[in-house]
Structure 1
Amino acid sequence: MTDLERYCTGLLDGTIPACRRMKQVAERLLEDLASPGEFHFDPDIAARHIGFIQRFCKVPSGRIGAPLRLELFQRARLEAVFGFVDDNNLRRYNEVLVIEGRKNGKTTEAAAIELDLLVNDGEGAPQIYNVATKLDQARLGYEAAVRMRQMSPMLAKHLRKRVSDIYCPMNMGFIKPMASNTSSLDGLDAHAATIDELAAIKNRDLYDLVKQAMGARSQPLLFVITTNGFVREGIFDAQYKYACDVLDGKISAPRFLPFLYELDDRAEWDDPACWEKANPGLGTIKSRAYLAEMVQKAKDDPSFKPTVLVKDFNMPQTSESAWLRWEELNNEATFQIPFDYGIGGFDAADTTDLNAAKAIFMRPDDPNVYVRSMYWIPEAVLEEARRTGSRRERDNVPYSLWVEQGYMRTCPGRKCDKQIFLDWFRELRDREGLYMLYIGYDPWHIDDSLLRAFQAEFGPDSMIPVRQGVATLSQPMKDLAADFRDHRVIYNNNPVDKWCLVNSEAKSDVNGNIQLVKTLDPRRRVDGTAALLCAYTVLQDKKDLYINLN
């Protein structure tokens, strides 16, 4: 029996604690072993790579210089990565995503794989990159490979350490660290790359460039290692969702192999019997006693708990200062309920900021708040990225994609005419029969002429000013947060809504009153949350009258 079979069987029969996602991985791999198609499993090829690593690579830290003895889960993973090949012995998998709790040996394993791919993969002039957002992070994996080379007499004999890389004279290949400098990444001819800490990357530009740099190689390998993180709706969440869709059979991606180690439920975080689900190296690579200390510290210090949930158990979180936790704001429910009446709200920008509008709805005997949204951004914002050829969009979010998907619209020029709000609410009324009884707005940003235009369309009493201060917003914010915690706010899983909610922070005064505040980072927009609060504040005030009409 191979290590791959032994490990996957253990995951499925309960011998090895496993989350639902890893059980899905095990089922797929065992099925591929039993029923080969275009790709079959070659144990000799898998053994060649694992044998190289265990023979020549040394532990780069801790028990420095000791032979690197891979654990069962690592050997099984490498058997899967290297062992499935076609009739020409070319690898099946060209991308591997590994999400594990911290300190489970990801960086050491990746460094060993890089050395193996450099000298033991039969590739001419292999370019191998260790990539991260910052050069210091990229150097962590690279320096692990440097130390492995230094401590192995055979590797030190045949590989040269140059100023900026590890060079192999036999095949003219190298291993090099590289940060997210798009100009230096363009034009690469990568045979392999490791992306370290995908969750720290704030836009997908780095990932896309590395992925595209492998197109000329016959069997490239992109090895992505990461824990979860605090950056939401970025490349990590996109790749995680992609991996889940692959495992659920929603997407066919035969060359993509995910390993998702996580808890099935965040309530398991203080149950030692579940810890191995997110930490496959627990007790061998990662200290069980130290993890127990971290869990106890998180119990004693609630401000530390989000870090433990994210980094040790791969549970998504927002930052400690966020208004809502990820598990509170994340609601993937959708609705297609017909409504006749709604309550609107909008947040207008005076410059090139985001503009947001909401229409919210409720029904009798239904506690849910249903939300429709629209966003606008000046066309000049997108045009600037196209003109400069930059793949990095403003605010590190995919505005162009959101426009294509219909979540957002563009306005000509460098700022949006506030007429867009009136036009959208009128569009809901005329095209869909959704009539706004009341519309909440911040009077600071609306002039008298637009206000009169709204009143002419929706009635003289339709426009309700919502001033942006604690006196007006504190109680609505608290009530809205309670609705989010109960998952009663259904916003059709709108990614722009979710991004704004993730960015939202609350400031509290000495009396316990709260209000929405923008963060110090101007890229973290909260306009969608502000528009929702305008509508929700009016809903609270007019709820009895409104509910009786639906």
Structure 2
Amino acid sequence: MATKPRPQPGSPGKAKTRAERNIKWIERYCRVPEGRHVGQPVRLREWQRKEIRKIYDNPAGTRRAIISFGRKNGKTALASFLLLLHTCGPEARPNSQLYSAAQSRDQAAILFSLAAKVVRLSSDLNDCVTIVDSSKRIHCPELGTTYRALSAEAATAYGLSPVFIVHDELGQVRGPRSELYEALETATGAQDNPLSIVISTQAPNPDDLLSVLIDDAQTGLDPRVVLSLYTAPDDADPFAPKTIKLANPAYGDFQNADEVQAMAEDARRMPSREPEYRNLILNQRVEMFSPFVSRSVWAACGGAISTDWQGLPVYGGLDLSSVSDLTAKVYVAGVGLDWHVRSTFWLPKEGLKEKSRNDRVPYDTWAEQGHLRTCPGRTVDYEFVAASLFRDCESMDIRKIAFDRWNFRHLKPWLLKVGFSEKQVSEDDDGSLFHPFGQGFASMSPALRTLEADLLDGRIVHGNHPVLTMCAANAVVTQNPAGDRKLDKAKASGRIDGMIALAMARSIASTVQTKLKPTYQMLVVGR
């Protein structure tokens, strides 16, 4: 019986398009590296075939391909097949260098390990490829191609000349820059038609490197960049199977649906698990710091705000921030058993579009829609804030306004100028309208407990104000050893001023009402 001839490295076979040729090669020579079908010939799913067609049949020629979906969808296995296409398959170029890049040595080892398993399980590939485990290299001697796994923990990749790069889990990069990414991407200048594959779950923040690359790809300005983003909409039911499927093309196939549903149920029961679930399973941009309020809880409190506050006691919170940053004014009033919320925000008008780009937040659109007030110039003029507060006091029964002492000294002269009395703006008088509110654990921890209880019980009605909703999405807490909490601007991924103002307003409302609550004595008269 004649033995099967060994495939020639780089042999393309017959196919109608470049992508179809590559699909045919993968299914002929690659083997499933792990799982219940280990060792069997690869049978690409239609969504995987679609990704290969998008990369290799792009009329403009693909320079960068970004593929992003939730965890456990065969991301690394797919990357290993593409890597071998360029190492010993029809995409291989003689004497070329190929690299995968990851943020840690362990992550770098995963792609190398899977590619090595594919080779070892295929007698055809094993005949023409050499694996060097000690240095995480795969070499095809006949073609002179060499693949090597790199990590950001090792020395940088300057001096290399790659023709093919896999950026594995680039979403783990925090911030807009990565030395390893830049070193590899700038090293391709000597190559004709280099190709980079970015394959990763989304980064949690909009200013992280992967988010920047995805946002740029979505503009469609460079036809050589192709993007496949499998993600669930923010407003969809995060626990419904149809929502999960949007971010997980392998759901119910080689991704275990029961395990994923168990993760969903954990996130439903424990709000602290929801950010991780949204980021890793639903592939949404969600910071995995412990949030103050989950998206679903916040959305459940988004009812319509009462327009009639006539005769209702009103309490406020004021976060002045810096003069060039977001200033927040939030009022609460008790309507029945609920607390209804009115929010006002200011930013400087000059440079608003630039700030929108830098923060990746539509401040300019919100200003046009009336959700955000702007002040002339490059700073928030406190005269505008003081005048607004005075008008509020003329139209509503405002009992107290809590404020952070920071920058209040700059606001106080303007409060006096627009008509407030010295007693009203005194920081030490119990009869003052304005009440200083500490931002440390001692003051903020009980304030957060009160607000959190109201949110979980659905007693807050915020009307889905977009700026306040942004602040709620960004709000994260930090905790001291005693278990006390406060909102942490340093850890937040964006502005949280509105949530600080809301917490102060709700807290001062409880404080004043407690002081005003009547007391009763029982007098028993005997015979």
Q: Specify if TM > 0.5.
A: yes
Counterpart of 1:216 in structure 2 is: 190
Letter in 1 for 2:55: V
TM-fit CA distance, 1:478 = 6.3
Counterpart CA distance in 1 for 2:176 and 2:39 is 36
Q: Deviations over 1:90-124 (max 9, x none)?
A: xx222222222322211111001011112332534
Counterpart of 1:466 in structure 2 is: 437
1:73-222 correspondence to structure 2 within 5 Å: 73-85=47-59, 92-119=61-88, 120-162=90-132, 163-164=134-135, 165-181=137-153, 184-206=156-178, 207-222=181-196
TM-fit CA distance, 1:61 = 1.3
Counterpart CA distance in 1 for 2:255 and 2:493 is 39
Percentage identity across paired residues of the two chains:
20
Which of residues 345, 362, 371 in structure 1 aligns to 2:319? 345
Letter in 1 for 2:187: A
Letter in 1 for 2:31: K
Counterpart of 1:56 in structure 2 is: 29
Counterpart of 1:490 in structure 2 is: 466
Q: Deviations over 1:7-60 (max 9, x none)?
A: xxxxxxxxxxxxxxxxxxxxxxxxxxxxxxxxxxx9332222122212222221
Counterpart CA distance in 2 for 1:131 and 1:178 is 5
Counterpart CA distance in 2 for 1:81 and 1:268 is 32
SS at match of 1:130: strand
Q: Does 1:325 align with 2:294?
A: yes
TM-fit CA distance, 1:81 = 1.2
Counterpart of 1:253 in structure 2 is: 222
Counterpart of 1:537 in structure 2 is: 504
Counterpart of 2:428 in structure 1 is: none
SS at match of 2:71: coil
Counterpart of 1:66 in structure 2 is: 40
TM-fit CA distance, 1:193 = 1.6
Q: Deviations over 1:315-357 (max 9, x none)?
A: 4444373213356789xxxxxxxxxxx9852458xxxxx9966
Counterpart of 1:456 in structure 2 is: 413
SS at match of 2:156: helix
SS at match of 1:238: helix
Cα 1:188–1:484 shift into 2, 3 Å:
farther
Verify the 8 A CA contact 1:507 1:517 in the aligned structure 2: no
SS at match of 1:516: strand
Cα 1:274–1:458 shift into 2, 3 Å:
closer
Counterpart of 1:8 in structure 2 is: none
Q: Does 1:276 align with 2:245?
A: yes
Q: Deviations over 1:473-508 (max 9, x none)?
A: 6546767997998463433998xx689x25434789
Counterpart CA distance in 2 for 1:72 and 1:159 is 28
SS at match of 1:76: helix
SS at match of 2:85: helix
- Could you state the TM-score of these two structures normalised by the residue count of structure 2? 0.64
Counterpart of 2:491 in structure 1 is: 524
TM-fit CA distance, 1:313 = 2.9
TM-fit CA distance, 1:235 = 2.8
Q: Does 1:45 align with 2:34?
A: no
Counterpart CA distance in 1 for 2:330 and 2:211 is 29
Higher helix share: 1
TM-fit CA distance, 1:128 = 1.9
Letter in 2 for 1:147: K
Counterpart of 2:429 in structure 1 is: none
Verify the 8 A CA contact 1:323 1:504 in the aligned structure 2: yes
1:365-380 correspondence to structure 2 within 5 Å: 368-372=342-346
Verify the 8 A CA contact 2:70 2:281 in the aligned structure 1: yes
Letter in 2 for 1:312: I
Letter in 1 for 2:67: V
TM-fit CA distance, 1:456 = 3.4
SS at match of 1:73: helix
Verify the 8 A CA contact 2:328 2:346 in the aligned structure 1: yes
The unaligned stretches of length 5 or more in structure 1 are: 1-41, 87-91, 331-341, 349-353, 375-398, 408-422, 543-550
Counterpart CA distance in 2 for 1:535 and 1:302 is 20
Counterpart CA distance in 1 for 2:149 and 2:223 is 29
Counterpart CA distance in 2 for 1:275 and 1:406 is 28
Letter in 2 for 1:533: I
SS at match of 1:176: strand
TM-fit CA distance, 1:252 = 2.4
Counterpart CA distance in 2 for 1:69 and 1:47 is 13
Which of residues 472, 477, 487 in structure 2 aligns to 1:504? 477
Counterpart of 1:24 in structure 2 is: none
Verify the 8 A CA contact 2:80 2:111 in the aligned structure 1: yes
TM-fit CA distance, 1:219 = 1.9
Cα 1:442–1:493 shift into 2, 3 Å:
closer
Task: Identify which range, 103-112 or 464-473, moves more after superposition.
Answer: 464-473
